[in-house]
Amino acid sequence: MSDKKSIEELLKLLAMGGEEKQEDPQNTEKHKFWSTQPTVKYEEASKIAAEGPIDKIKTPDQVPNNPLPLIDQFEWCTVDVENDKELDELYKLLYDNYVEDTDATFRFKYSHEFFKWALKPPGWRKDWHTGVRVKETGKLVAFIAATPVTIKLNKSKTIIDCVEINFLCIHKKLRNKRLAPVMIKEITRRVNKQDIWQALYTGGSILPTPLATCRYQHRPLNWSKLHDVGFSHLPANQTKSSMLAHYALPNEPKLKGLRKMEEKDVKEVLELLHKYQERFEIVQLFKEEEFKHWMLGQSGESNVIKSYVVEDSQGKITDFYSYYLLPFTVLENTHHDDLGIAYLFYYATDAEENYKTRLNDLITDALITSKKFNVDVFNCLTCQDNSFFLKDCKFGSGDGYLNYYLFNYKTFPMNGGIDKETKQVIDDKSSGVGVVLL
Ligand code: R64
């Protein structure tokens, strides 16, 4: 976000000769695993002739019935996310061992409600919440999850029933023991047993081969708190009060007819979204039940997912947006112990000639409504049509990148909303990526 960061980035780019390289010392180990998997090889990526599955077609009965062998002291388990005690174990594993930012000052502050929303969409399966325990003590030391998702590739009109892979986490003391490949192969086996052969996943590190790369974007809402915790820096030519003024927002949303989305809106909003998504190359197709789950949560008001619609004077829904809330715990700060974070999720509008203005108004209202939920920074990526509002809505580029991957499927590379060389946002251009993962 700061000037310092952009200089750092430039130096890094210079040092790498403009190429993104693996700085991971395990690059070769990683390669040893990924080169055995049905993914696009780096060299192939630029010369893909046709889209389609990579492995030859199989049937579930050709897939082994038994789990992969594990190192002796460990055993497979399923984590029962309907059991509070097991949810607490998952919380502890992830809190202590899931991805951290580079300075280890922030950790995801999960809640039971977040886990249930993220892990139990319609069609969820217990055995897709795969864990590893220490045999002797029962301690949970690794986890990986698959959830069902249907994607559509708009160019070829291909619809694929696949899974999303998320929450891969291995206890810090078990790192470098080659456990991740075993976790990935085991979840693959369990998914294949259900006659599903493709998976969608994202990650910060570069593996063979991203279908698109997006960049983190942040819109400060509570600039002074972000400054206090060391996330935002004061630019040389600014004062604290000029920063506050720059990021100030009205208290009330400005779109006439804006209201919370309700269950009765599900069908109409879903139609609006599916129509809207025709502009992207890869999108998520929802069944009504799935859309209800993802936009409204379990039952009653959700503290995790927030969805709003704009209803015109004829009662027609013209726009909608959604975001999920997943705060960070802030470690070792004298003034603050958490940071409220919203992540932009799905949105749509039927606007055409005033498209850019409408998107800007819509996302401005997303920012405004999120302040009620103690959001300090509103995050999104450079995917979807975000580059139409990032600048005017005062988002700034962060130092994180998110790579999108498809397992066992070749696609032409897609635009992730940033320039390949400079990594800067490309303004006012649709990205290819219309699917949003948590
Ligand atoms: O900023 C951050 C993240 C992020 C993002 C998308 C866009 C911007 C983003 C930050 O780390 C951050 N910090 C340190 C301060 C403010 N923001 C992470 O992430 C997209 C992916 C989010 N995944 C959440 C998730 C899902 C499932 C399990 N655990 C976590």
- Please give the number of the atom of ligand 1 that sits closest to the Cα of 402: 20
Residues contacting 276, CB < 8 A, separation 6+: 348, 349, 350
pLDDT category of residue 316 using cuts at 50, 70 and 90: very high
- Of all residues in the chain, the percent with pLDDT exceeding 90 is 89
106 touches ligand 1 (CB under 6 Å): yes
pLDDT higher than threshold 90 for residue 272: yes
What does the mean pLDDT of the chain come to? 93
Provide the residue type at 17 as one letter: G
Copy the structure tokens of residue 304.
């995790």
pLDDT of residue 163: 98
| 65-92 mean pLDDT | 96
pLDDT category of residue 28 using cuts at 50, 70 and 90: confident
CA 137 to ligand 1 center in whole angstroms = 32
Nearest CA to ligand 1 atom 16: 377
pLDDT of residue 101: 74
CA 378 to ligand 1 center in whole angstroms = 10
CA 254 to ligand 1 center in whole angstroms = 28
| 335-353 mean pLDDT | 97
Nearest CA to ligand 1 atom 29: 167
| 102-118 mean pLDDT | 92
| 240-269 mean pLDDT | 98
pLDDT of residue 30: 81
Active site residue 362: no
The residue whose CB lies within 8 Å of the most ligand 1 atoms, and thus the one to mutate among 81, 108, 343, 404, is 343
166 touches ligand 1 (CB under 6 Å): yes
Q: How far is CA 321 from CA 20, 269, 280, 340, in A?
A: 34, 10, 17, 19
Per DSSP, 433 falls in state B
pLDDT category of residue 54 using cuts at 50, 70 and 90: very high
pLDDT higher than threshold 60 for residue 296: yes
pLDDT higher than threshold 70 for residue 419: yes
108 touches ligand 1 (CB under 6 Å): yes
Give the Cα separation of 371 and 373 in Å (integer): 5
377 touches ligand 1 (CB under 6 Å): yes
Count CB neighbours of 316 within 10 A. Answer: 12
142-199: per-residue pLDDT in tens?
999 999 999 999 999 999 999 999 999 999 999 988 999 999 999 999 999 999 999 9
348 touches ligand 1 (CB under 6 Å): no
CA 397 to ligand 1 center in whole angstroms = 13
CA 312 to ligand 1 center in whole angstroms = 34
113-147: per-residue pLDDT in tens?
999 999 999 999 999 999 999 999 999 999 999 99
CA 19 to ligand 1 center in whole angstroms = 24
Rg (CA), the chain: 22
Give the Cα separation of 115 and 143 in Å (integer): 13
pLDDT category of residue 102 using cuts at 50, 70 and 90: confident
404 touches ligand 1 (CB under 6 Å): no
The residue whose CB lies within 8 Å of the most ligand 1 atoms, and thus the one to mutate among 215, 326, 379, is 379
pLDDT higher than threshold 80 for residue 17: no
pLDDT category of residue 267 using cuts at 50, 70 and 90: very high
In this structure, the dihedral spanned by the alpha carbons of residues 370, 373, 377 and 382, taken in order and rounded to 10 degrees, is -50
Residues contacting 207, CB < 8 A, separation 6+: 30, 34, 39, 403, 405
pLDDT higher than threshold 70 for residue 265: yes
375-399: per-residue pLDDT in tens?
999 999 999 999 999 999 999 999 9
Which of 40-49, 253-262, 406-415, 426-435 is the least confident region? 40-49
216 touches ligand 1 (CB under 6 Å): yes
pLDDT category of residue 8 using cuts at 50, 70 and 90: very low
- Of all residues in the chain, the percent with pLDDT exceeding 70 is 94
Q: How far is CA 30 from CA 22, 176, 407, in A?
A: 10, 10, 16
- Please give the number of the atom of ligand 1 that sits closest to the Cα of 326: 24
As beta bridge partners, residue 215 has 401
pLDDT of residue 299: 83
- Does pTM surpass 0.85? yes
pLDDT higher than threshold 60 for residue 246: yes
pLDDT of residue 76: 98
CA 100 to ligand 1 center in whole angstroms = 10
Nearest CA to ligand 1 atom 26: 438
Out of 174, 244, 255, 438, the active site residue is: 438
167 touches ligand 1 (CB under 6 Å): yes
Residue 335, classed as helix, strand or coil, is: coil
